[in-house]
Structure 1
Amino acid sequence: MILKKIAAVEEAAPVAVIVREYCETRDKAAVVELERRCEIGQPGKPSLVTDLKGDPIARVRNFVSHTMLVAEYGQGREIVGVIRGCIKTVTNGKLISSTQLPVHVNLAYILGLRVSSTHRRLGIATKLVEELENWCKKNGAEYAYMATECSNHPSLNLFTKKCNYVKFRNPMVLVQPVHRHAKPLPSDIAIVRVPTSQAEHLYRRAFSFSEFFPKDINQLLTNKLNLGTFMALPKKFLSEWNPNSENFDFPHSFAILSVWNAKEVYRLRVKGVSRLTHAVCFGTRVVDAMIPWLKIPSVPNVFRDFGFHFMHGLHMEGDDGPRMMTTLCKFVYNMARKDGDSRVVVAEVGQADPVRRSIPHWKKFSWDEDVWCIKKLGDEGNAASREDWCKSTTASPSSVIFVDPRDL
């Protein structure tokens, strides 16, 4: 009888979950398989399916301070969960009153949370988040945030109800499919490539008082995945403009953006659509191939893995700025078209950002509302940054949110 009771207690005892740091040589194959089984995304929307070349840590490798944790479960110590995190220094949209310089905070970004479908509701996701938060605090992070779609209720419930995050910002994801035909550019607008040093100077001027602008913008612009920074300006001004001058003047109307080669990090696929939708999309490509002179905007084959170009640092000035921005977006579209493997062009901007209306996109492929949730981790940092950023949830000090492509 005593032995039976002991056996019953052992059967009822919870199985320990061990969270530890990822080891590439030991864990890579298991994590790649876990990621494959945990494809995410809403039906009819692009969903993350695999990291390029099976590199699980690729999404945070571009940050100096980053980590990846795995959760082991059971006697066999099977890897059943994974989470990634990185820390960067960003602006919070506020100014230091004495100097009028931007306030910077150390911000952790939590991403890539996956738990095996056969091991959910066991508290594994919560433990992964808690352990990652501990790592973030030990490494100086004052806040942590995450991003997901507004329809991803399980993720939102985990972070807001169990982990005490608050809904913070709601940027828009704008997607433009790339078809067979190039977009014509206006003859009175010139597109120039901006040297990195001048791009950094301009971005610091334009975005320092926005939210989430990274202090290491120079590292972002010189990253091998950054395909360049480009400016649209009046062609008549081109002869007077010297981008290599230390004291160059900008034209009254211009637009600027940078392009990130996101396909070198991971792939996308549209999943969960009906056979009719497949047939209609295929039909647009057939018709376009048969009568190309009509230049039908056919839907590319997004039902197989594909890459994309991501536009970041979108900024415009002047009365003709909106037309300049639209022209720049068309220029990036033509870049993606020549690439061949990039079948969409993507941008993410704040809902009140003036550039939003100038970015070409298809509503069917876009997200009207992404959700960023944030949590205060501690009071580390300087006095100017100790005012609780989380409490500015009703209105942003700036309508502009800088979306770092390294966070994708």
Structure 2
Amino acid sequence: MSMKVSVQISPKPLLEVAVDSVVVREYEEERDKGAVEEMERRCEVGQGGKPSLFTDLMGDPICRVRHSPSYIMLLAEYGEEREIVGVIRGCMKTVSRGKKPLSNFPIYVKVTYILGLRVSPTFRRLGIGTKLVKKLEEWGKQNGAEYAYMATDCANEASINLFTLKCAYVKFRTPAILVHPVHAHYKPLGSGIAVVRLSPQLAESVYRRVFANSEFFPKDIDAIFSNKLNLGTFMALPKKSLPKWDPRTGNLPPSFAILSVWNTKEVFKFQVKGVRALTYACCVGSRLLDAWMPWLRIPSIPDLFRPFGVYCLYGLHMEGKGASRLMKGLCAFAHNIARDDVGCGALVAEVGQCDPVREGIPHWRKFSWAEDLWCMKKLNTAKDDIDESGGASEWITSRPSTSVVFVDPREF
């Protein structure tokens, strides 16, 4: 998906431009909105005739970072007319990077997340992307960030080379993106499964407990739960356990699954372009057949060739006997919520490569990504944390504390 950092490189520069003549400044909405939208439209080209996923920011170029606690958008300008030739977005937050030695208390660090890097096709391979990244890193350091990281498709060589070869980032984690289309039919939850909605206070308490040792768990999780885009946190558990569970005790059920739902369709939308005529016809045919014979409950492909929104499933966790089945039922519950929301075309979850919860998340392999590459760089030179053996522990080079990577829905 082009939800992350996406860089396209031309075979050679189309102009000879000195990078020193490019000025980087902060985005000003009233002044720059139209020019940024036009520049990003020029960047939206398919890759080699293959199907591509395009993002419609719905008239708000800064929408993908606006809900973060601290954010910025930088522009690159060139020439006397101050033409906008590049943009980059970034946000900052405090996240966990594992637990403290000999305890269950998390270690928190301040990080800068880089996304939405675009350079005008005419001005690529001139060092503008590198300059934008460095300026954003400076903003992060000035505001106390210890690390910067970005995410991109493992097949996006242009992005990977820019960050690893030119900006000294290292390949860090490879979570999986799991996508499931929203169909016209409701999905059964499974027999004997109950789903309850947790209050924001209870959800926060549970999340701080179960994700205490995970990586990238946001310290301000309460701000996420209170955001208008958050549709709620839901727990699935066996019906027979429901009368016995009292959330006021602070104890969790013996077996349960939990997730939260974030509505990205109010912020931006996607659209698939560049598919072959035969593929398009098959997708349309599946919907027509489903409409004619709904009793067959054909898993028809929704209309992804028009702008559509997605629900982001985050904070997925499961425990106990039969937990995988509970998670599947909970994902079906989320699907049914999305089914009732016109224009929601898919559910998306991003989880750690070896996270046990992955086995309980229904998804279509054709639409999913086995590896989404995250790259990281240390911004400061402060003394590293001390590990259990008394030696220096650098997050970038250390082994993951758990298999869980918490994906912040504000950065989706």
TM-score w.r.t. the length of structure 2 is 0.91
Contact 1:81/1:125, CA 8 A, preserved across alignment: yes
| Superimposed CA distance per residue, residues 265-302 of structure 1 (whole angstroms, 9 cap, x where no aligned partner) | 21111222211100111110111111111010001110
Q: Secondary structure at the match of 2:64?
A: coil
**Matched residue, 1:208:** 212
The percent identity for this pair of structures is 58
Cα distance between partner residues in 1 of 2:223 and 2:149: 21
Q: Aligned partners of 2:51, 2:255: CA distance in 1, in Å?
A: 35
Match in the other structure for 1:172: 176
Contact 1:376 1:388 in 2 (8 A): no
Q: Once the two structures are superposed, what CA deviation does each residue of 1:374-404 show, in whole Å capped at 9, x if it has no partner?
A: 0000035885597321112xx4221010011
Q: How does 1:358-373 map to 2 (within 5 A)?
A: 358-373=360-375
Aligned partner letter, 1:242? D
Q: Which residue of 2 aligns with 1:50?
A: 56
Which residue pairs with 2:396 in the alignment?
390
Partner of 2:224: 220
- Corresponding position of 1:8: none
After superposition, the C-alpha distances for 1:169-223 in whole angstroms (9 at most, x for unaligned) are 0001000011111111223111100011111111111111011111111111111
Aligned positions of 1:123-134 closer than 5 A: 123-134=127-138
Q: Which has the higher helix share?
A: 1
Matched, 1:140 2:133: no
- Opposite residue 162 of structure 2, the aligned amino acid is L
**Does the aligned pair in 2 maintain the 1:40–1:49 contact within 8 Å?**
no
Quote the Cα distance in structure 2 between the aligned partners of 1:41 and 1:70.
Answer: 23
CA distance in 2, matches of 1:77, 1:229: 46
State which of 290, 293, 304 in structure 2 corresponds to 1:291: 293
The answer for the alignment partner of 2:8 in structure 1 is none
Q: 1:46, 1:214 → 2: CA distance? A: 31
Question: What corresponds to 1:19 in structure 2?
Answer: 24
The yes-or-no answer on 1:237 pairing with 2:227 is no
Query: How many angstroms does 1:73 deviate by?
Result: 0.8
* Partner Cα distance (1:401, 1:41) in 2: 31
Q: TM-score normalised to the size of structure 1? A: 0.92
Question: What is the number of residues matched between the two proteins?
Answer: 392
Checking the alignment, whether the CA contact within 8 Å between 2:17 and 2:126 is kept in structure 1 is no
Partners in 2 of 1:257 and 1:226 — Cα distance?
11
Q: 2:203 aligns with which of 195, 199, 204?
A: 199
Paired letter, 1:398: T
CA gap of 1:270–1:381, structure 2 versus 1, over 3 A, is farther
- From the superposition, tell whether residues 182 and 154 of structure 1 become closer, same or farther in structure 2 (CA, over 3 Å): same
Give the letter aligned to residue 81 of structure 2. Answer: G
State the Cα distance separating 1:248 from its structure 2 match: 3.4
Distance 1:41 1:185, change over 3 A: farther
Distance in 1, Cα, partners of 2:386 & 2:339: 46
Q: Whole-Å Cα distance in 1 between the matches of residues 254 and 289 of structure 2? A: 43
Give 1:255 deviation, angstroms: 0.3
Match of 2:74, SS? strand
Task: Return the index of the structure with the highest Cα Rg.
Answer: 1
